[in-house]
Amino acid sequence: MLALPPFRGVTRRLVLTAMAAFVLQVLVNLAFPRAGASLVLSPRLALHGMPWQFVTYAFLAGDLLNTVFALFALWFFGADLEQERGGRWLGEYALVSVIGGGLLAALLSYAHLPGIDPGNLVFGLWPMVLALTLAFGRRNPEAEVRLYFVLRVKAKYLVAIFLLSYFVSALFTHDYFSVLTVLAVTLIGFFYLRFAPRRGLQYAASEGWFGVRNSYYRAKRRRAAKKFTVYMKKQGKDVNLDPSGRYVDPDGNPREPHNLNDKRWMN
């Protein structure tokens, strides 16, 4: 019941970053009260000269108790996802969900939705936590989690419970932009889980780049092989090359591919 997951890798960096941001937030609010406004997400500011807000808003926190619960949830779900998918995937998924969701919410704030204005502010760890909860629930829908260390709830119901709590809170605080941001982050996280490659966008992009590069070098090698064949024919010698541009022994004896000291094919 009280067992905690490993505290390492990207999960540890996310948790420590959030803790450092909380301490920095407290100090900045005491010394420079107006400076903290440049770190929270305000659509009017973020879309007009302060794009870093799409990242910083997700690492700020509210009161201490809220921050503690959010950090524990970030640690628990992040560690499980990192163990199953890897740290690179976890970091990419968290950033894509947070940045994409913040950008979507900022754009929707200009759609004249009731109670939402581009001048609204939002910050907090829970949008990122909800994105991780969604990924955990899709992977382990029947797993039971103790909500706030008390209630035993299946993972597939956690996101719905958290979103419902946001809606109920918005009815009393009229903070509809926070609800919009949470919904946007969760939606972007869902699209990422649904359509992104299993090993992440960064891995797919690097594999695509290496594939293009290798195709270029293979084509270059084939062109060089054709030129070499023409040159050798002019010298009265026949050279056999396969479609990939590799040398074929005319006697039918395969050449050792890793024997760098074998220079007979050059003569």
Where along the chain do the CATH 1.20.1540.10 domains lie? Answer: 9-196
Q: Identify the helix (H) or strand (E) that includes residue 169.
A: helix 155-173
Q: pLDDT (tens digit, 9 = 90+) per residue, 104-120? A: 999 999 998 888 889 89
Tokens describing residue 195: 């359509």
- What CA–CA distance (Å, rounded) separates 61 from 40? 10
Phi, psi of 260 (to 5 degrees): -75, -15
Answer yes or no: is pLDDT of 6 > 90.
no
Answer yes or no: is pLDDT of 267 > 50.
no
pTM over 0.85: no
Q: What is the pLDDT of residue 226?
A: 75
Q: Give, in words, the CATH class of 9-196.
A: mainly alpha
- What CA–CA distance (Å, rounded) separates 218 from 225? 10
Tokens describing residue 223: 């062109």
Residues in a beta bridge with 248: 240
Of residues 30 and 44, more confidence is placed in 44
For tokens 């939002």, what's the residue? Answer: 122
Q: pLDDT (tens digit, 9 = 90+) per residue, 185-212? A: 999 999 999 988 777 667 666 666 667 7
